[in-house]
Chain A
Amino acid sequence: MAEEMRIVLRNYGKIDPLKIDDYIAQGGYKSLEKARSMDKKALMDEVKKSNLRGRGGAGFNCGMKWSFAASAQADQKYVVCNADEGEPGTYKDRLIMEGDPHTLIEGMAVCAYAIGATKGYIYLRGEYLFLVETLETAIAQAKEKGFLKDFDLEVRSGAGAYVCGEETALIESIEGKRGEPRFKPPYPPNEGLWSKPTIVNNVETYANIPVILEKGADWYAGIGVASYPGTKVLTLTGDVVNRTFFEVPTDTTIRDVVFTFGGGVRDGKRFKAVQIGGTSGAFIPESLLDTRVAFDDMNAIGATLGSGATFVMDETRDIVDVVTRIMKFFEHESCGKCTPCREGTARMHELMEKINEGQGSDKDTALLNKLGNVMTYSCLCGLGQASPAPALTTIKHFAADYQAKMK
């Protein structure tokens, strides 16, 4: 049977997050010490070799990203943590920050050393303001113990904008502006915060770093699926028996997540669909449940791993209604900067409403497909590009639900 494996949550519930000595007793900050004794290139090669890929959703090789910023010439570089965990159904980053803030700080300090940065920011979503104190306390403790040396770390708050999870929008927000994504390139490792080379990684990504350095890149690369090694924290919501979280190796199947870890569907009902990766995730039918929770495996079935949010729906759920609600979300969260997203999300919501109210026809689903595909290709950032997925995948996998509502 599939088993949980805790890397980023290794200390969760075991230590007092506000006591740095607890963290140190678990071997904390030894990896930072080790990193600083290494040649920077060798350090980045080690991270690269572990094949750790970004846990925020884009899945880019972490060590590779760092090396871009390391080779950029600038008088100032920045290390930023994306703690703007806004995907509905996701709370993994909160678990890490709440239960083990030092692992995040250590991971960021390793990155700062590797790329030559002296300033870092944790961009914390506005809904987690109660965590500011935890993080600031932990930062002060690490400073006091002398672990941070010349690395200055500051917490900045968001204020309720989903799009700020997109890294360039997040950067704009730290600069005190509206969180509208930038045109890319240039990418942040070359030109990011205040136009300086900047690494933006997710909380979960940084939390992996201390363990990779402690146990070695080869050890990490051997866990789970080779192309996306390590673990993934999944948060289970919806009609599932165990509405809780698990950290599992990436070769775990969705079936195991829902039925073994999740305990199956609530109230003895039958499974209908699971949406993985957050609100822009694909709706996955029973026939695809043997897919592994790894980046490329998910992409191969037209889905995404995203944040690891796992939303289970039982046979009684009205899929068209849920998707309509999701499209309302995107219309609201679209920042309005680019036309395909600003207009597209509104029109997709409008079409879904029409179908949901029993006024739709096959012409409308065809139009949704066409519009959704155009948005996938033409929207400026990930928000717009991913937003049609719930509609596109349900039209494909749950056609009967749409037919039942046609006039």
Chain B
Amino acid sequence: MSYKEIIAKYADKPGGIIEAYHAIQREMSYLPIEAVGETAEVFKVPVSQAYGVATFYSMFSVKARGKNIIRLCESAPCHVAGAEEVLAALEKELGIKVGESTADGKFALELSECVGQCQATPVLTVNGKPYFEVSPAKLTGILAEYK
């Protein structure tokens, strides 16, 4: 589905810009600038406002990024449970640093704050799906699901 078709589906929802952005990202993993412009037009708000929304929320990105978005929680409960080791292992495994995407366009690596799964720390999410008690040893298996 093109971004135009996606946005059109939310046009009648009052304040539905955020829902539309989520839907676009499910298809393309980021918000192309043209999609932001289109959103502004459909929802009848200035482009500055549509862009302001796109850049306010940490889950939205106006820059192209890898298809599968890995977010590692760095809040205190995950931090003390060893999130830093997981991060080092992730960067090594993917060959990229936080904020970058792999050359094949498969993965983007980001940090997040608490994802609300603190019964089984450290936690990371891939496209929103949480993985529990993550250790460096478990990473290969998790990433394989998306290759």
Contact = CB atoms under 8 A, between A and B. Distances in A.
Given A237-B121, A245-B119, A322-B76, A89 B114 contact: yes
Contacts of B116: 85-86, 90-91, 94, 125, 127-128
B74 to A, nearest CB: 8
A335 B114 CA distance: 17
B118 interface: yes
A177 interface: yes
Across chains A and B, which 10 residue pairs bring their CB atoms closest together, nearest first? A176-B15, A159-B57, A88-B75, A237-B77, A88-B114, A160-B58, A160-B59, A176-B17, A178-B56, A159-B59
Contacts of B18: 156-159, 173, 176
A238 B120 CA distance: 11
Nearest to A275: B76
Given A127-B115, A161-B57, A88 B125 contact: no
B129 interface: yes
Interface string A324-360: 0110010011010000000000000000000000000
Contacts of B113: 86, 88, 160, 162, 329, 332-333
Contact of B118 (A89, A156, A161): A89
Contacts of B21: 159
Nearest to A162: B113
Contacts of B43: 176
Given A86-B114, A326-B76, A127 B56 contact: no
Interface residues of A, number: 49
Interface in B2-34: 14-19, 21-22
Contacts, number: 126
Given A129-B22, A159-B22, A175-B14, 11 more contacts: A89-B76, A125-B116, A127-B114, A160-B57, A161-B58, A176-B45, A177-B15, A237-B77, A243-B118, A279-B114, A311-B77
6 contacts: A89-B114, A91-B119, A127-B128, A156-B18, A161-B56, A279-B76
Nearest to A87: B114
B119 A244 contact: yes
A180 to B, nearest CB: 8
A86 B118 CA distance: 12
A162 B129 CA distance: 19
Contacts of B45: 176
B53 A178 contact: yes
